[in-house]
């Protein structure tokens, strides 16, 4: 994706970038916390992910 000339709003409304962000959030935070033995922290971040998903849905 060409980023030159894109605004923050353009990027936030890009569904491919939203999907990529959520996939990375899952892999780098939630799944890693579970693997390391922090289930409560993983649940807390899962709730944050739900909030982020809701915000993305409002943008679209």
Tell me: the pLDDT tens digits for 10-31? 888 999 999 999 999 999 999 9
The total number of structural domains that make up the chain: 1
1 part of a folded domain: no
Q: Is residue 3 part of a domain?
A: no
pTM of the model: 0.77
First to last CA, the chain: 19
3-state secondary structure of 2: coil
Which residues span the domain enclosing 18? Answer: 8-59
Mean pLDDT of all residues in 18-46: 95
Is 50 a domain residue?
A: yes
Q: Is residue 32 part of a domain?
A: yes
Residue-wise DSSP of 6-53: --HHHHHT-HHHHHHHHHHHIIIIIHHHHHTT-HHHHHHHHHHHHHHH
Neighbours of 23 (CB within 10 A): 10
Q: Express as a percent the part of the chain with pLDDT over 90.
A: 73
Query: Does residue 27 form part of some domain?
Result: yes
Evaluate whether residue 52 is within a structural domain. Answer: yes
Is 2 contained in some domain? no
């Amino acid at each position: 994706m060409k980023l030159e000339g894109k605004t923050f709003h353009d990027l936030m409304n890009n569904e491919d970038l939203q999907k990529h962000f959520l996939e990375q959030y899952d892999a780098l935070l939630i799944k890693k916390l579970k693997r390391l033995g922090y289930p409560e922290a993983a649940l807390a971040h899962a709730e944050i992910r739900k909030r982020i998903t809701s915000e993305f849905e409002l943008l679209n």
